[in-house]
């Protein structure tokens, strides 16, 4: 149920001259007008007319042009993290215990909570990263998620930056092959191969400190 909802929507922008970038998460529950379908939460826009409809809704509400789009399956996120050998991010919660979301991990059908980490560095494999990307801290007994979905998207951006950092800095051809495989199997995009090569070339010139999130 709800498999076609785009619960994570992100706008990425690169300034190829200044060698800077911006990442903006769009709240999944933002109430918007969907052309030809009245009003709904923005995460349902894709279900009405695919990527073109979602793209138009983003452009209309944020007043920015969208030049390229990519539909990313959650599996790609998990596979990307595993492809680069895991990632490390910093847990920064106002709760001294860190973060905890007791919601069950239904994707792997195991017994464990989606997220439970103390403040400080956390090293994640693909499944752990996927679980953290899905955790909103809205289950009974959760803590460390003062802004619920906003906190979730903050950690999503942190994880994407960690993946980006490992991808552009690796000199291991096997890792790069694994990254390509993870993307190819789980991403639908209107970016052409030559354009993707150019984007990668520009991205390598951007340092993490030059990316606004």
What does the DSSP assignment read for 61-98?
HH-------EEE-HHHHHHHHHHTT-EEEEE--SSTT-
Measured between alpha carbons, how far is 177 from 165 in angstroms, rounded to an integer? 16
Asked if residue 117 has pLDDT above 90, the reply is: yes
Measured between alpha carbons, how far is 187 from 160 in angstroms, rounded to an integer? 15
Mean pLDDT for the chain overall = 90
pLDDT at 136: 92
* Percentage with pLDDT > 70 across the chain: 96
Of the candidates 152, 187, 188, the residue with the CA atom closest to the CA atom of residue 7: 152
Asked if residue 159 has pLDDT above 80, the reply is: yes
pLDDT tier for residue 107 given thresholds of 50, 70 and 90: low
The pLDDT of 57-70, averaged and rounded, is 95
pLDDT at 21: 95
The pLDDT of 191-200, averaged and rounded, is 88
φ, ψ for residue 185 (rounded to 5)?
-85, -15
Pick the residue with more confidence: 16 or 177? 16
The mean-pLDDT minimum among 7-21, 44-58, 103-117, 195-209 falls in 103-117
Asked if residue 111 has pLDDT above 70, the reply is: no
pLDDT tier for residue 109 given thresholds of 50, 70 and 90: low
The pLDDT of 137-150, averaged and rounded, is 93
pLDDT tier for residue 113 given thresholds of 50, 70 and 90: confident
The pLDDT of 189-196, averaged and rounded, is 89
Pick the residue with more confidence: 98 or 3? 98
Sign of CA dihedral 118, 11, 81, 149: positive
φ, ψ for residue 212 (rounded to 5)?
-90, 135
In angstroms, what CA-CA distances link 206 with 21, 120, 159, 169, 212? 7, 25, 17, 11, 11
């Amino acid at each position: 149920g709800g498999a076609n909802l785009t619960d994570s929507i992100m706008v990425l922008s690169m300034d190829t001259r200044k060698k800077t970038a911006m990442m903006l998460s769009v709240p999944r529950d933002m109430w918007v007008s969907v052309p030809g379908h009245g009003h709904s939460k923005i995460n349902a826009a894709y279900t009405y007319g695919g990527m073109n409809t979602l793209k138009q809704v983003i452009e209309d509400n944020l007043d920015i042009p969208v030049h390229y789009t990519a539909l990313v399956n959650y599996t790609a996120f998990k596979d990307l993290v595993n492809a680069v050998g895991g990632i490390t991010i910093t847990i920064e919660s106002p709760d001294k215990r860190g973060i905890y979301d007791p919601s069950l991990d239904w994707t792997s059908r195991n017994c464990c909570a989606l997220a439970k980490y103390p403040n400080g560095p956390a090293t994640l494999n693909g499944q752990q990263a996927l679980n953290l990307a899905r955790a909103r801290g809205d289950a009974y007994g959760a803590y460390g998620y003062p802004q619920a979905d906003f906190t979730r998207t903050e950690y999503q951006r942190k994880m994407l930056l960690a993946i980006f950092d490992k991808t552009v800095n690796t000199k291991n051809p096997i890792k790069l092959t694994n990254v390509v495989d993870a993307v190819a199997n789980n991403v639908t995009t209107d970016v052409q191969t030559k354009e993707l090569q150019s984007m990668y070339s520009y991205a390598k010139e951007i340092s993490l400190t030059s990316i606004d999130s």
